[in-house]
Every structure is written in C-alpha cells, then in structure tokens.
Structure 1
Amino acid sequence: MEEPSARPRRRADAERSIARIVSAARTLLSSDPNARTDDIAKAAGVGRMTLYGHFGTRAELVEAAFTDALRAGDETLSAIDLTGNAREAMTRLLASSWQVVAESAALLTAAEEVLPAGRIRELHAKPVQRMTELIRRGQDQGVFRTDLPTVWLVNVVHHVLHGAATEIRAGRLEPDDAAEVVTKTVQSMLTV
C-alpha cells in the first residue's frame, strides 16, 4: 500500500498562479515597497481571494517575493569566478553584487516592514557566507586587513552596496558609475 506524501501535490494551474503572484509581487514591491496586495493580484491576473488562498498574509507574500529575488540573485552570484587572488575576485563579485542589491533594495524595505530581523538574516545567509569566505581568503592571502573583525567587514560591504542602491534611487549616483564607486570604496576599506 502506498503511503500518502506528507504534502499534497498542487495542481499545475495552482503552481502557475503562485508563480504569477510571486513574480508580480517581486516586480511591484521592487519599485514600491508599499505596493498594495490588490495591485499585486491585479498584476498577476488573479483575484484577491486567489492571492489570499495561496498567501494568507501580506508577510507571507512579501517573504515569497523576497525569497525568490534572493534565489535569482544567488544564481547570478554563484556563476562568478571567485578563485585566485581575493582582491580580483572581490572586484568581480562587487561588479555583480551591487546590481543585485540595487534591483532588490525596495523589496528588502518591504521585507523589513513585515518580517522579523532574524528571518531576514536567515534569508541572507548564502550571500553573507559567500562574502565572509572571500574576505577570510583575502586575509589569509595577506591582501585584506585583519585588524578588524571579519563580520564587521562583511557588514560594511553590505552597507556600501545598499548605500549605492539608495543613492541611485535618490538620483545622486548614476547607475553606470555605481560598480566603480562601490568597488573603489570597498577595496580601499579592505586594503591592508
């Protein structure tokens, strides 16, 4: 006798509906962290009842959109060659990281409004681990400073990335200049 699966399998149309809702939420929340769920449902081509049938609360919807954005960002960042000299690898990582952060900055704002700080840290675990490992490797290679805690250096890098995204949205930094500004700032901060 077959054992029932622990979680019932969703119908294909329900999966498509969920994907459309998450995609619409990512798009709308990325441009306006206060986007209304009614607008998200409309953009997804579903009714409010359908949206709330899949996501019981705004927090669940925001978390799903934020998680999806982090997954997509991780795919981008995982493709970057981080081997060899840590300074050069950091330059390559920053060139892509600032863009990923810029695209999801407003979505992070939405997440911070409805999710506990601990949950946001959990969701950021992979990017933090990637940066931590690269900084530690640079410290071992003697190209990154060791007089400050690694966790502090990682946090400063993330603040610089988020700061660049804020400056771009405010019109004080040109998107075409961001990669260079971020890289120079972080490299000078990390240099021995």
Structure 2
Amino acid sequence: MLEYCEGMGSKSTTRRADALRSIEAIEQAAAECLGRNPDASLSEIARAAGVGRVTLYAHFTSRAEVVDAAMSRAIDRGNEALDAVDLTGDPLLALARYVEAGWHLVDQARALLVAAQKELSAGRIRELHSGPVARVETLVARGRAEGVFRTDLPIAWLVNVLHTIMHSAAEEIRAGRLTSDRAADHITATVLAAFTPPGKPVPEPGGAA
C-alpha cells in the first residue's frame, strides 16, 4: 500500500511539473506571438508553444486569460529592468533615466499592449502596471518635496500623464509620425514641461539627460 501511494505521489508530481512546463511555454509563446502581431490566434500561440489547443485550453479558458498571462510576464520582466534604473539623486536626472528605460520597455511591448487593450479592462491594465506606477509615484513625491516638480496637481495625475505620453508615442510610431529613436527625447521634453512648477522655466531635455 505504501509503495502504491508513493507511486501515485510520484505520478502526481510529474503531472504538475509537466503542467507548469506547458504553462510556461504557452506564456512565453503568447508574449512572443502577440509581441509581433496583436491579433495572433490561439492556434498560432499553441503551435509556437509546442502544445495542442486542448492543452492550451486546459490551462487558459479564454483568449483574454492568455493575453493577461503574456502581459503579466512582460511587466514582470520590465519591473526587473526598471529595478536596475538609478532613481536617486537629482529628480530631473532620475526622471530622464526612468523615461529612457521605461520607453524602451513600452517600445518593445507595443503590439502586446494593443492586444491587452482589446482583451482586458482598463482596470486590469492599471492593476498590471501597479509596479511601475508605484516606482514613479515615489520619484515624483521626492521631486515635489525638493521643489523640482509641481505640487498643484495630484501625484497620481502626473504619473498617469507620464505613462499616457509613453503610450501615445507608441501610437505615433504605429501611425508613422514618429520614429523609435526620437521617441525618448520627445517624451522627456513633454514630461518635463508637464512636471515643471508653474512660473518656473522648463529645463532643457539635454540638461536633464
């Protein structure tokens, strides 16, 4: 009886490991496929993951769940990259560094974000972005305390403006009105103008980079 139970436990552990490998493969394939084409089908994602549609649906009941998992994966990896950004020292310089790093992440995930906007609610997208938002809120609060950033508007509004500008840059690139290599400079200049206290001169983007 003990040997039978041990055998059942071993099989159960193997099944769980196989399931985790399948889920990981599907999430990675979804991030890659949707990162190239926001309309990529679940069949394409399953093929790229090396699994069948039945296996995919065993772990994800809808396209929205697949997109959610892919977006979560991308944001987790983005948070790891943003953790390496130095946000100490002069708030203007820290902001410019954040914009540079953050924009590259948005640029890489442009198509995936389009898929997320089609499948997920605005509330869920905000929830997924809570990590990056909290990081910038801390920076903006410090900049306000040091008299560098404006205090007449809520911190949440200023952070939303920053991320909205980043996403708008992605839209401009898709429309062919902006190139990726110029986007960070445009974003930094616009954000500095939005964050500067009324009546104070707007810092030159080059001086903050």
Global fold match (TM > 0.5): yes
State the Cα distance separating 1:105 from its structure 2 match: 2.7
1:78 lines up with 2:101 in the alignment: no
Q: In structure 2, which of residues 107, 116, 135 is the aligned counterpart of residue 102 of structure 1?
A: 107
Using the alignment, how far apart are the partners of 1:116 and 1:188 within structure 2? 30
Query: Larger C-alpha radius of gyration, 1 or 2?
Result: 2
State the Cα distance separating 1:9 from its structure 2 match: 8.0
State the Cα distance separating 1:181 from its structure 2 match: 1.3
Using the alignment, how far apart are the partners of 1:177 and 1:9 within structure 2? 50
2:3 matched to which residue of 1? none
Return closer, same or farther for 1:47/1:72 CA change in 2, 3 Å cut-off: same
Using the alignment, how far apart are the partners of 1:187 and 1:46 within structure 2? 47
State the Cα distance separating 1:177 from its structure 2 match: 1.2
Tell me the SS of whatever aligns to 2:76. Answer: helix
> CA RMSD, aligned part only?
1.8
TM-score, normalised by the number of residues in structure 2: 0.83
Using the alignment, how far apart are the partners of 1:119 and 1:182 within structure 2? 25
Using the alignment, how far apart are the partners of 1:9 and 1:184 within structure 2? 54
Using the alignment, how far apart are the partners of 1:47 and 1:95 within structure 2? 39
Using the alignment, how far apart are the partners of 1:184 and 1:117 within structure 2? 27
Tell me the SS of whatever aligns to 2:109. Answer: helix
2:203 matched to which residue of 1? none
1:145 lines up with 2:150 in the alignment: yes
Higher relative contact order (CA 8 A, sep 6+): 1
Using the alignment, how far apart are the partners of 1:10 and 1:138 within structure 2? 51
1:120-178 Cα shifts (integer Å, max 9, x gaps)? 22111111111111111111111111122211111110111001111222222111111
Q: In structure 1, which of residues 37, 54, 60 is the aligned counterpart of residue 59 of structure 2?
A: 54
Aligned length: 186
1:168 lines up with 2:169 in the alignment: no
Give the partner amino acid of 2:156: V
Return closer, same or farther for 1:174/1:112 CA change in 2, 3 Å cut-off: closer
Aligned-residue sequence identity (percent) comes to 52
TM-score, normalised by the number of residues in structure 1: 0.90
Q: Where do residues 3-152 of structure 1 align in structure 2 (5 Å cutoff)?
A: 11-152=16-157
State the Cα distance separating 1:35 from its structure 2 match: 1.2
Q: Which is worse superposed, 15-24 or 69-78?
A: 15-24
Using the alignment, how far apart are the partners of 1:151 and 1:172 within structure 2? 29
Give the partner amino acid of 1:60: E
Using the alignment, how far apart are the partners of 1:157 and 1:57 within structure 2? 32
Give the partner amino acid of 1:118: G
State the Cα distance separating 1:13 from its structure 2 match: 3.0
